[in-house]
Amino acid sequence: MTQIEDTNREMRLDPDSFAQGYFKNAVYRHWDPYEIAGLDRDREKMLDNGMTEEEYYELCTAISRFGAGEEAVTEDLMPLALVLEDINDQMFISSQIYEEAKHTQFFDRYWREVLNPVGEELGFETYAPTEQHFFNDEYITLFDRTEAAMERLLDDDTVENRVKAYCHYHLTVESVLAQTGYYGFQSAFSDHGSDEVAVRDWPNLTGLVDGIGKIRSDEGRHVGFGMHKVRGYIQRGEVDEAIVQDTLQELLPHVAGTVSDFGDAVNPGPLVTYASDKLTRRIEILTDEDAEIPPVEELVKIGSNEAGAAGD
């Protein structure tokens, strides 16, 4: 019988490690996408609001891209989980994959319980959330490049490739694109955010905003983990900060392109500006020796203002 001996440690876990702290936070802040209330009220508010078919299609586009993004990262994160050596890191990434799957479930539920019934009631053409016309070229390119960066780890797991993978996934898709999306939804469909985002007055969609708020809280933790990893590589001199800056700058146009083709329901200009500012702030935290990543309790805070998560 083969015996397994690990001479590098006595206990299996390090409760004081960065990753274990994040994992415990994930367990503590667990939520169920099927317990998000208010979807029926969202549906009635949409029906009473005089939504045009163009506005309905744009809302479908936004939620379709969000849901597809959550599904993509659920699948694409697995290579990182396979190459990480430390059990504490592995546990956190396992929780992250689970949470991405949970986010996918929320958007699928919203499509079934809100968007399709609203479209049918108003006599609009209804769609499947997977239809190709919802995804523009910039969106597809961004996620194709993220998938490739993750899969590269399976064949060439170098420090530089790990950093690039974190840059694609944690620091661009989650930290810039997703945060921009949260900002847009919050601004358009709640009393918070920016008045410049919505083209017209929209009702407060409390079910959508509550679900997205909880997703945003999870993502704050994910972003913090990625920033911690990349910042560590930079501060230890294991990777040149120029690689991080170049990778993030190369991806920004794809983020901007993903949100720039709206206009019927929301104004894309403030979203592009928000994404650019977010990226600049990320680079500052990663490269400035005196900058600090906020504690996880701050990263996951669901606040009433747009800056509530992920180290803004």
> What SS3 string covers 165-221?
HHHHHHHHHHHHHHHHHHHHHHHHHCCCCCCCCECCCCCCCHHHHHHHHHHHHHHHH
Show the tokens assigned to 99. Answer: 């949470």
Closest CA to 226 of 181, 167, 278: 167
Rounded Cα gap, residues 277 and 283, in angstroms: 10
Show the domains of the chain with their CATH numbers. Answer: 67-101+137-299 (1.10.620.20)
Closest CA to 67 of 133, 124, 119, 134: 134
- % of the chain exceeding 70 in pLDDT: 94
State how far Cα 172 lies from the chain centre.
9
Residues comprising the chain, all counted: 312
pLDDT computed for residue 292 by the predictor = 82
pLDDT in tens, 161-184: 999 999 999 999 999 999 999 999
Region 65-82: what's the mean pLDDT?
91
**What backbone phi and psi angles, to 5 degrees, belong to 22?**
-70, -40
- pLDDT higher at 3 or 152: 152
pLDDT in tens, 21-59: 999 999 999 999 999 999 999 999 999 998 999 999 999
Region 286-298: what's the mean pLDDT?
84
State how far Cα 149 lies from the chain centre.
17
* Confidence at 295, pLDDT banded by 50, 70, 90: confident
Rounded Cα gap, residues 96 and 129, in angstroms: 23
* Confidence at 297, pLDDT banded by 50, 70, 90: confident
Q: pTM of the prediction?
A: 0.90
Rounded Cα gap, residues 172 and 198, in angstroms: 24
